[in-house]
Amino acid sequence: MKKDIRKEPEKESKLLDSGFKLFMHKGFQDTSIQEIVDDAGVAKGTFYTYFKDKYDIRNKLIAKKSNKLFNDAYKKLKKTDINKLDEQVIFIVDFIIDYLEKNKLLLQFISKNLSWGIYTKTINELYQKQETENNTILELFLNGIKEQNIELENPEVTLYMIIELVSSTCFNSILYKEPLPINEFKPYLYKEIKKLINN
Amino acid sequence: MKKDIRKEPEKESKLLDSGFKLFMHKGFQDTSIQEIVDDAGVAKGTFYTYFKDKYDIRNKLIAKKSNKLFNDAYKKLKKTDINKLDEQVIFIVDFIIDYLEKNKLLLQFISKNLSWGIYTKTINELYQKQETENNTILELFLNGIKEQNIELENPEVTLYMIIELVSSTCFNSILYKEPLPINEFKPYLYKEIKKLINN
DNA sequence: AACGATAATTGACCAATGGTCAACAAGAAA
DNA sequence: TTTCTTGTTGACCATTGGTCAATTATCGTT
């Protein structure tokens, strides 16, 4: 028997849009499901055919938005002719910082609700349903290391540390100006990234 | 007129204990205030004379527990004769990792609920009410730099990056074994800490 | 000791919300 | 058309965070 797919993707994406809009302006806790479905123009019960619960829509939103941001950065990099690995990484970091600085609400939303476990789990789910693109930065990184003869004991771990260092410090630098406002903080950060890559 | 202080600190600490116990075993969301006050043996209203709301008790718990852990590490360090700055920092990091590895529930609680803004704000409040000790690692770090003639452009920023790198990566390594289980991950981390301090 | 003032405590009560489900609608297959 | 599956609806429920008027305990003052 063929599986019947009648679920309209429009409804899900409408709910996602409404959820995102409301989470941005009112925060996750202060947004009720009733408000989301009202905004999306569907009944409350419908919400629960597309999402397991309130956390489910939040996780999917974070995963999608983060992933899009990341892929945009990667696409823009491919249009440049930057060819040194450390500069490539810094280009991507810079793109992401700029974007988040201009979208502090998004950053706030991500940093308040993101946790590594949730993120990887949801990204994985979306990837298996082919609703998201692959993890391109790892490829970039591994290729760069091969081509440029960079010696790293464990590239995956190095990349991981760079990502963590960037995200945790930049979030604070942009949102709370701690320990420095982002523009003063950048040089230190980039120096450390170079150190991590070039030994 | 003298200020009347009749509030019993016992009640507050009983509520904190009950809250901690329940948050550990049932999680923050699944613990109701009714359960906390029942466990502490007070009425619901009393809760709200000691804490502004449910988030308030959570923030105070995180701040207190994190602070205690940190100070325990520092006290133990002072009993050793480690005198190189990078080794001192690694000693403290090691102490904290060990502790959190043995108390995964606490780590989970902290990492799920901690955000930098909340943390610094709450620590600051507690410090002003003299309910917590001072920020000793910064002193250690600055003293070490002076005594050992280490050259760092901006020591505060370096220390900050070390703390962020350690916390974000170790949390994931212990809880999710990503990118490596903590024991395999440690060498990479310590190498990077040394790089950060020694250039 | 007695009194008044202030602060702490209580628990019934309320409003809001996350989630359920029986009934209904719409479309596909026969 | 009839049947079956899947999507949709919104009234309804249980739970919970937070309030507040009334009560009790404690301190300073006379």
Question: Is B189's CB within 8 Å of A161's CB?
Answer: yes
Is the C-beta of residue A3 closer than 7 Å to nucleic acid chain C? no
Which chain A residues have a beta carbon less than 8 Å from that of B116? 171-172, 175-176, 178
Read off the tokens for A82: 């930057």
On whether any CB of chain A is under 8 Å from the CB of B163, the answer is: no
Please give the distance of CA B61 from its chain centroid, rounded to a whole number.
10
Residue A23 has what pLDDT? 95
- The SS3 of residue A158 is helix
Tell me the average pLDDT across A94-123: 84
Q: How confident is the model at residue B134 (pLDDT cuts 50, 70, 90)?
A: low
Are residues A68 and A144 both part of a single domain? yes
The 10 Å Cβ neighbour count of residue A95 is: 18
- B22-57: pLDDT as tens digits: 999 999 999 999 999 999 999 999 999 999 999 999
Which of A34, A51, A68 marks a domain boundary?
A: A51
Question: Is B156's CB within 8 Å of A179's CB?
Answer: yes
Query: Would you mind telling me the total number of residues written for chain A in this entry?
Result: 199
Which chain A residues have a beta carbon less than 8 Å from that of B151? none
Residue B80 is part of which domain span?
Answer: 59-198
Which of B165, B176, B195 lies nearest to residue A164, judging by beta carbons?
B165
Tell me the average pLDDT across A172-191: 93
| Nucleotide nearest to B31 in CA–C1' terms | D16
Residue among A35, A15, A31 nearest A23 (CA): A31
Question: Is B160's CB within 8 Å of A175's CB?
Answer: no
Check pLDDT > 50 for residue A42. Answer: yes
Check pLDDT > 70 for residue A134. Answer: no
Question: Is B154's CB within 8 Å of A188's CB?
Answer: yes
The Cα B58–Cα A137 span in angstroms is 37
Are residues A44 and A66 both part of a single domain? no
Of all residues in chain B, the percent with pLDDT exceeding 70 is 89
Are residues A2 and A90 both part of a single domain? no
Are residues A98 and A21 both part of a single domain? no
Question: Is B161's CB within 8 Å of A192's CB?
Answer: yes
Question: Is B120's CB within 8 Å of A176's CB?
Answer: yes
Q: Which of A66-70, A159-163, B99-103, B156-160 has the lowest mean pLDDT?
A: A66-70
Q: Which residue of A has its CA nearest to B159?
A: A179
Check pLDDT > 90 for residue A114. Answer: no
The Cα B18–Cα B36 span in angstroms is 6
Tell me the average pLDDT across A108-113: 83
Residue B8 has what pLDDT? 64
Tell me the average pLDDT across B62-88: 91
Check pLDDT > 90 for residue A186. Answer: yes
The four Cα atoms B167, B173, B179, B181 give a dihedral, to 10 degrees, of 140
Q: How many domains does chain A have?
A: 2
Are residues A26 and A76 both part of a single domain? no
- Tell me which long-range contacts B44-52 makes (C-beta under 8 A, separation of at least 24): B46/B11, B46/B15, B47/B15, B49/B7, B50/B7, B50/B11, B50/B12, B50/B15, B51/B15
On whether any CB of chain B is under 8 Å from the CB of A151, the answer is: no
Are residues B33 and B88 both part of a single domain? no
- B67-78: pLDDT as tens digits: 888 889 999 999
Are residues A44 and A64 both part of a single domain? no
List CB contacts of A70: < 8 A, sequence separation 6 or more.
A92, A96, A136, A137
The Cα B61–Cα B38 span in angstroms is 18
Are residues A47 and A63 both part of a single domain? no
CATH code where residue A13 lies: 1.10.10.60
Are residues A136 and A99 both part of a single domain? yes
Are residues A9 and A106 both part of a single domain? no
Check pLDDT > 90 for residue A190. Answer: yes
Of all residues in chain A, the percent with pLDDT exceeding 70 is 89
Burial per residue of A121-139, b for 16 or more beta-carbon CB atoms within 10 angstroms, e otherwise: ebbeebeeeeebeeebbee
Average of per-residue pLDDT values in chain B: 88
Contact status, residue B138 vs residue B159, Cβ threshold 8 Å: yes
- A72-94: pLDDT as tens digits: 999 999 999 999 999 999 999 99
Are residues B85 and B4 both part of a single domain? no
| Nucleotide nearest to B51 in CA–C1' terms | D18
Are residues A95 and A7 both part of a single domain? no
Q: Which residue of A has its CA nearest to B154?
A: A188
Residue of A124, A151, A167, A169 to mutate for B, most B C-beta atoms under 10 A: A169
Chain D: bases < 7 Å from a protein Cβ: 5-12, 15-21, 26-28
Q: Which of A59-63, A142-146, B54-58, B111-115 has the lowest mean pLDDT?
A: B111-115
Query: From the C1' of D4, which residue's alpha carbon is nearest?
Result: A4
Interface residues, strand D, Cβ cutoff 7 Å: A 3-8, 11, 42-46, 49; B 2, 4, 6, 31-34, 44-45, 48, 53-55
